[in-house]
Amino acid sequence: MGKTKDDGGGASRELAAVLRDHPGAIVAAVGDDGLFVPVPEGLDLGDDHHRTGLRSATDLVDGVDRAAVIEAWERARLGDDTTVDARLRDTDAAGTMHFIDARDELGVHLMVFAVDDGGGRVEVPESPPIPEGSRAKVVRSRKDGLAVLVDIDRNVSELLGWRVEDMVGVRSLDFIHPDDQEEAIAAWMDMLSGPGLTTRARLRHACADGSWLWLDISNRNLLDEAGHVECEMVDVGEEVAAQEALAASEQVLRRLTESMPVGVFHIDADERLQLANARLHEILGTLPGDDQATMLSTVRDEMAFDRALAAVLAGTDVDLELEIQVLGTLDLRRCTLALRALTVEGAVTGAVGVLTDVTESVRLREELERRATMDDLTGCFNRASVLEALEERLASGVDVAVVYVDVDDFKVVNDGHGHAAGDEVLQAVGARLRSAVREHDAVGRMGGDEFVAVCTGLGSEDGAAELAQRIASSLRDPVGFRHQRITVSASVGVAWVPGGERVDADTLVARADGAMYASKGIRGGGHTVG
């Protein structure tokens, strides 16, 4: 129906006309925000008409009709009396909903839902409960062309704590946080640039208690059409608080990762790099602008990394060691990598990795292991290590030969040339022994000027004797020291056992030692077999 009200009670007469035809109609008063408000005391509905406690007209109708009801209400807000056909919720009853503009007369709109029921009384559907402590989320207002508030709905008291009379007649900008006023002015000017234009800005609005509340504020230019700007303010405080909390958490995470002494990175489910801290670039020798392929090129075993990443993206955490070649250099670094899956509701969304440079600790460990097993002076195994190697070879079931070497007249070298010369001789003996045997054989210093070579796979006692002869021959050449040539000779003894023979290491060394002492009677670096 078209707008027919006048200033002499036209809305009441229109309502009375509808109720005469539909005495069982549902009646409610509607505020500017579209929500039901108490029926004004000056409006006498009698005893037969419903004063519904529902929240809005959309609560009355079936879901498929709600969009049409909203559209009718939007037209009614602009000053037209409107009707819309709809069905009563939870029933099969069809009817017509009337919106009557009674603002001049009663300060509200009237909603009358006349059901096609032959005039009988209609039960009103129950409204869903409103949670305790809930507050209005939306406030609607009107402003003039200078942004002065000329009207505002009652929800402002619930949302912002202001009374309507506190805000009407005041520029809306006066309620906006000083830091947001420039944005508010820009949005307002954009809105004024054309009829019907709507702009939106997220701003902090003053509350009556002195606090600030984040609102999404939309202004629609209806100055040419209705002589005002229509404004809607939506409470987004919880959303902004959540965003600020998330931003704060992200900052903590960024600051934490940048302060860590390890490389940290994040890869998404599509294996795209999303985050890499400065320490990671430092370890790899890359720059923050380098792409993922450049960073991965520093990994010596890319296949191992790819397998590990695939496993993590399938939901299995992985720890592995990697060798890194620092980009643009020949430097190698040993690193440990801990890869962990990221999941949301059971689905893997990516992975985080922690890369730790353990180069120095590995070097220290290897040095400690070397010192625990090697003789510092000669570079040969120490006594304990060479005997351990002998035990392992005897246990393996292969044939084993022990060659025992004693440097002849070593005291004379020390006394005649000094201990530095003696050290040079021992180093030369150790080096010549290692050269005379094969790579998998073990050469150790038993102490003082005595050495042992543990050799396998010689095949026979004759093969062991040939090895002993070769070792004895390698030790005959003089050793140079400070422009001097120091004559060296050694006594060599060898003991051999076939594979599988049960003999302990001490017994076999004792046999070789005995053969060595027997060879001391042979001048010129001979050898004997024990």
Q: What pLDDT, on a 0 to 100 scale, did the predictor assign at position 132?
A: 45
What average pLDDT does the segment 341-346 reach? 90
What average pLDDT does the segment 456-467 reach? 92
Q: What is the DSSP letter of 58?
A: G
| Model confidence at 500: pLDDT above 90 | no
Which tokens in the block code for residue 527? 């050898």
What does the angle CA 423 – CA 429 – CA 397 come to, to the nearest 5 degrees? 130
What average pLDDT does the segment 396-407 reach? 93
What average pLDDT does the segment 30-36 reach? 80
DSSP output for 128-141: PPPPTT----EEEE
**Which residue bears the tokens 């999303």?**
274
Q: What pLDDT, on a 0 to 100 scale, did the predictor assign at position 495?
A: 95
How many H-runs (helices) and E-runs (strands) does the chain carry?
Answer: 17, 23
What average pLDDT does the segment 122-139 reach? 59
Comparison of pLDDT for 18 and 299, the residue scoring more: 299
Q: What pLDDT, on a 0 to 100 scale, did the predictor assign at position 119?
A: 52
In DSSP terms, which residues pair with 479 in a beta bridge? 486
pLDDT digits (tens, 9 = 90+) for 200-210: 999 999 999 99
pLDDT classification of 454: cutoffs 50, 70, 90: very high
Q: What pLDDT, on a 0 to 100 scale, did the predictor assign at position 50?
A: 58
pLDDT classification of 105: cutoffs 50, 70, 90: confident
pLDDT classification of 3: cutoffs 50, 70, 90: very low
Kindly state the percentage of the chain with pLDDT values over 90. Answer: 50
| Model confidence at 127: pLDDT above 70 | no
pLDDT classification of 387: cutoffs 50, 70, 90: very high
| Model confidence at 261: pLDDT above 80 | yes
φ, ψ (nearest 5 deg) of residue 381 = -60, 150
DSSP output for 431-494: HHHHHHS-TTSEEEEEETTEEEEEEE---SHHHHHHHHHHHHHHT-S-EEETTEEE---EEEEE
| Model confidence at 189: pLDDT above 90 | yes
338's CB contacts (< 8 A; 6+ apart) are 317, 318, 319, 353, 354, 356
Nearest Cα residue to 219 out of 107, 291, 153, 142: 142
CA–CA distance, 142 with 140 (Å, rounded to integer)? 7
| Model confidence at 232: pLDDT above 90 | yes
Consecutive H or E run containing 452: strand 450-456
Q: What pLDDT, on a 0 to 100 scale, did the predictor assign at position 246?
A: 81
CA–CA distance, 489 with 432 (Å, rounded to integer)? 12
pLDDT classification of 7: cutoffs 50, 70, 90: very low
What average pLDDT does the segment 459-467 reach? 91
Is the pTM of the predicted complex or chain greater than 0.75? no
Beta-carbon-side half-sphere exposure of residue 391 (alpha carbons within 13 Å): 7
Mean pLDDT is lowest, of 118-127, 313-322, 466-475, 516-525, for 118-127
Instruction: Specify which of 391-395, 415-419, 499-503 reaches the highest per-range mean pLDDT.
Output: 391-395
Pairing of strands 212-222, 198-206: antiparallel
Mean pLDDT is lowest, of 46-60, 156-170, 326-340, for 46-60
Average pLDDT, the chain: 86
What average pLDDT does the segment 309-325 reach? 94
Mean pLDDT is lowest, of 25-34, 164-173, 262-271, for 25-34
What does the angle CA 421 – CA 423 – CA 427 come to, to the nearest 5 degrees? 115
What average pLDDT does the segment 160-170 reach? 92
